[in-house]
């Protein structure tokens, strides 16, 4: 987000333009903890940032902020109720983020978001059911202006260890 600084502290997300007083965007029950949470990354296209936080009702879940108070929203309660989803290895690809999320229905699998609840979806249940595709890390390929593809080392019982590539959409 051009000419704006996102400040994270004391479980609060702030916006500051360097001139006006900082503005509180959202206060969380827990934004940082030893078991998870925090800022996962800024969108490569500058539209906002991806957060893993606990609002006190849904447990730790993915959030998106366009650095406005009305544009800081929960993307979904993927592990329903106060239990938490585990997120890791978020990687910006164009206008999307690809990330690993562990939740009961699919285990640990790659997910994608465009920063909206409707655009946050399982990229693929590569080890069908609650089993996990044993995710590892991400690497980007593409261009300096923003990665266009993400490489993902994935292990499944059917295929073993393989390198997968995605543009961050279910189709690609």
- Give the tens place of pLDDT for each residue, 21-30: 888 888 888 8
Q: How far is CA 119 from CA 16, 97, 142, 169, in A?
A: 27, 10, 22, 10
Q: How far is CA 15 from CA 1, 82, 108, 151, in A?
A: 10, 27, 32, 32
Q: Is the pLDDT of residue 148 over 50?
A: yes
Q: How far is CA 132 from CA 63, 72, 127, 129, in A?
A: 23, 30, 6, 8
Category of 101 on φ-ψ map: left (φ > 0), alpha (ψ -120 to 50) or beta: beta
Mean of pLDDT values over 157-164? 85
pLDDT, position 1: 47
Q: How far is CA 165 from CA 43, 84, 151, in A?
A: 19, 28, 5
Q: Please write the tens of the pLDDT for every residue from 88-104.
A: 777 878 778 888 888 88
The answer to whether residues 28 and 53 touch, using CB atoms and an 8 Å cutoff, is yes
The CA angle 159-162-168, to the nearest 5 degrees, is: 110
pLDDT-above-70 percentage for the chain: 83
Which residue did the predictor score with more confidence, 77 or 88? Answer: 77
| Average pLDDT across the chain, whole number | 80
């Amino acid at each position: 987000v051009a000419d704006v600084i996102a400040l994270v502290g004391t479980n609060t997300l702030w916006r500051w333009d360097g001139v006006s007083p900082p503005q509180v965007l959202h206060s969380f029950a827990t934004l940082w903890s030893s078991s998870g949470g925090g800022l996962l990354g800024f969108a490569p296209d500058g539209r906002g940032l991806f957060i893993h936080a606990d609002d006190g009702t849904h447990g730790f879940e993915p959030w998106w902020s366009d650095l406005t108070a009305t544009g800081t929203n929960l993307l979904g309660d993927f592990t329903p109720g106060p239990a938490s989803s585990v997120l890791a290895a978020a990687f910006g690809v164009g206008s999307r983020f690809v990330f690993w999320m562990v939740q009961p229905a699919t285990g640990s699998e790659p997910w994608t978001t465009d920063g909206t609840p409707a655009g946050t979806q399982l990229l693929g249940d590569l080890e069908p059911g609650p089993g996990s595709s044993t995710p590892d890390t991400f690497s980007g390929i593409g261009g300096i202006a923003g990665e266009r593809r993400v490489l993902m080392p994935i292990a499944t019982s059917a295929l073993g260890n393989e390198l997968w590539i995605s543009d961050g959409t279910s189709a690609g």
